[in-house]
A and B are shown apart, each in its own frame.
Chain A
Amino acid sequence: MRMPKPRGGLSEWVINRLASTGEGSLGPAPVADSWADEVISLWTLHELSYRGFEDASDHAEWDPEVLVVRHSLELVLEERLRSRWEHPGTDPDAADVPASLEALVDADDGPSLADHVRRQADLEQVLELLRQRSIYHLKESDPSAWVVPRLPVRAKAALMALQYDEYGDGDPNRLHAHLFARGLEDVGLRSEYGAYVDDALPETLEMNNAASMFGLHRRLRGAAMGHLAAFEMTSSLPSRKIVQGLGRLGLDGPMAAYYDEHVEADAIHEHLAARDICGTLAQDEPDQAAQILFGAFTCLDLEGRFARAMFSAWEQPS
């Protein structure tokens, strides 16, 4: 993958810096021109820790000048995410974490893209949704994988059980990101990693940046696992609706198979995530209980913001 197009002065600085790491300083990074400029900058910096870019230096990931910018953008992002979350006041009891996760999910009243796909989205809307989703689904589960070494025994074993399934149970043909790539080809879209980054809404990039930041920081391990739990707990039923919507549009090949896999897989994963990962993590490290709920809230909140942005672009009532 090549680096994305800049969306302002900061992302232009980042792209130039990553291309020329080791060739002398560019001077201090400018302030972001806009939220769009900010989120594409952080997305680009995080990508260095995944697959990287063919036109960026391999040394850029740990370059001090680059890390300074990444750190400052992450502070801004974390502050923005925390400001949207209402801390429960007292730390939740560890034993209540699975029930609190369920309550958060039940209380979520964000607009449903899956309902729209099932009932009335047209083909172009579905393709646009898949292009946006491709930013995450082509690296599906990768941010959670970073958390494995940071967990106590029970949560670690449970996360590995979940991740093993996400990564195809040892069969590369069943690896979820690969199933999604096959699905993209099936519906006539590009399947290369990062193909649609230049089309990604800021809301899409913010979702991805939050997951990457939670995964990359040991301090945020509770938020990472809460985010994972909320994601899995809101996947099975919506995936079934998307299968129905794809079928309505005559798309019943590999993309439908990708979502079909998630109906069954995530009906398992949601229990592993809520109880065996988050529940035991909160028991073993009680100070993580509130962080787990913060991560779960953030997942639901960012999905809601993304859905509203999509509906707004389609001029649909949300």
Chain B
Amino acid sequence: MSGGKRADDFDHPDVVIYPDGPMLVRGATSIRDEDGTVHPVVRPVVALCRCDKSSRLPWCDGTHKVIPRQ
């Protein structure tokens, strides 16, 4: 390869925190919430709620968009 990107040239973290949004987690197979319940993961990427106001914790449901930003 001449002058091209190497295979490891891209940042590709497994966990990404989005500003004023959820935390995206890649490659998880299960998530334990704060009550100790284990939720199986069926998607390659899931969004975990960070505002604590989601109607389906631990997953994000977009509710953060309609509550005042802290």
Contacts and interface: CB of A to CB of B under 8 A. Distances in A.
A39 B7 CA distance: 45
A268 B60 contact: yes
Interface in B15-30: 18, 21-22, 24
A237 B67 CA distance: 12
B44 interface: yes
A271 B55 contact: no
A153 B62 contact: no
B43 A240 contact: no
B1 interface: no
Interface string B39-58: 00011111100000001100
A161 interface: yes
User: Chain B interface: which size bin?
Assistant: 20 to 34
Interface residues of A, number: 20
Main DSSP-derived SS at the A contact region: helix
Contacts of A55: none
Given A153-B5, A263-B61, A271 B44 contact: no
Contacts of A236: 61-62
B9 to A, nearest CB: 9
A286 B61 CA distance: 32
A64 B53 CA distance: 56
B18 A264 contact: no
Contacts of B61: 236-237, 240, 263-264, 267
Given A236-B61, A237-B66, A264-B56, 7 more contacts: A153-B10, A161-B44, A164-B44, A165-B44, A169-B43, A237-B65, A268-B47
Interface of A: 153-154, 161, 164-165, 169, 174, 236-237, 240, 263-268, 270-272, 275
